[in-house]
Structure 1
Amino acid sequence: MPAVIAALVVLAVAGYFGWRHFERNEMPAPPVAVTTPAAPAPAAASAPAAEPAIQHPVEPPASETAVEPTPLPQLADADSLVKELLSDLLTSKNVLTFLQMDGFIRRAVATVDNLPREHAPLMAWPVYPTPQRFTTQRSDAGQDTIHPDNSRRYLPFVLMVESVDTARAVAVYRRLYPLFQQAYEELGFPGRYFNDRLVLVLDHLIATPVQAAPLAVTLVEVKGEVPSTRPWVRYEFADPALQSMSAGQKMLMRTGADNHQRLRAKLVDIRARVARR
């Protein structure tokens, strides 16, 4: 399903393969509502404001048989069905390796919504973090850069993402869409349409610039008497322009130029299938 793949493309890269961001960014945080410029106060006799128009509607899946489709379970009871559908799409092995199935739809929706923001809290991720560590190398001039070996570790995941049949993923997404929509509204966005948010997030991620040169990083200093026992989670980009990018964009850039381009191709494919042409 596109929302799942969009989240996996960036989150599994960061969570499954290391450098999970500076520790202060791992703390859970409540969702932040999308803000819009304040509008002038309406006249007393004006009509109520109209709900924002849906830009990218998700059509119900076409029925290929005369048999009525099986009703969807309640959102709180959907994990078994979601696991079954994802195991068929990704294989059971990949589901067990990568995915956190407890409350999966809520996790995927929260994560997709967080990707363009400054933080994508670890506690909401639909993937398991890995014990593998982010590594760097230091030049003769004393500058740390991301070690080339990091990009090699991403390759099994990249191959898995590329193997997913996007058309089938979209069909699963369409079938389960009412649950994604419900989870999005419960997250704090009543009246908003989740697929519109998904398309916006995909556009945001697709626009992430591919970095051909080795990326310079700096180790954030931690002040205090308690020593840091996990320095590998305290790196930030040395370039302020890169460090100021969103959580999702920084995760993509960490994969290395080749992996980034391949993952971007999958995001473009997803976008073409979930957005109104």
Structure 2
Amino acid sequence: MLTTLELLKQRCEKENLSLWELSVKDEIENTKVSEEDIFNRLQRTLDVMKESSHQALKVPVVSVTGMTGGNAKKMNDYFLSGDTVLGDTAALAMAMALSTSEVNAAMGRIVAAPTAGSAGILPATLMTMYHKYGFDDRKLMEAMLVATQFGQVIFDNATFAGAEGGCQAETGAASAMAAAAVCYLRGYDIHIQENAAVCALLNILGLVCDPIGGMVEFPCNIRNANGVMNALASADMAMAGVKVFVTFDEAVDTLKRVGDSLPAGLRETGEGGVAVCPSALRLRKKYIDGNV
């Protein structure tokens, strides 16, 4: 049976469980592992997220092609300057998202959460909450489980693949998952978590997937930085009580319909969007095709 958020909300109420507790219960029933085993695995995942989100902050990490790299350090240096427009929280969050994106492009170890192309968003969000509020690993892992529940709904009813649904399916899904996690960490219930996830999806509906040369580098890296901002802003709107008029299930259905409507050239083929701009074609020729 396909998972919907409505079904998850009903189960949480009926079984008197939070969303992360429901996730643990289902995992134990389905795989016969212990709760200790589940959190040990989550700890390993969180440790990778920590490493990837900080690895490129002090020393530039360059992609395998050589086309991109060093932006995380630049963003971190800007954060350290203390002269950012949006403030320290935003600047550090973007730097950490760029870091994981660059580690991925350099073939380093990352957590695809939910994809490699969007891998910077959830780690940067969780680490932002750690740096700003001091949440411990256990709480961060519970937030990861909340994120996975929202992700499961997207996986079951739409897609995570840029090749199927455009970048809205990658950075959009990651932003929604991360926004819900933020609200959980701040003590808000599943209804506010839902509103945050809806905001994140609606903010990014229709975003195409158009990487230069088909490589997960540009504009993927800056979309990871913007994705974490989307998650944090969406969480703040939901926690402030901003009205949201559609459900998460409806937003996911919309994500699927919009993705299906995108032409093939705007779904990770590298044949449309930014990927065919003159500057992008020159970069592809230099760094990917091997012709100067």
The alignment's TM-score, normalised by the length of structure 1, stands at 0.27
The alignment's TM-score, normalised by the length of structure 2, stands at 0.26
In terms of Rg, which structure is larger?
1
Q: Is the helix fraction higher in 1 or 2? A: 2
Larger RCO, structure (CA 8 Å, separation 6 or more):
1
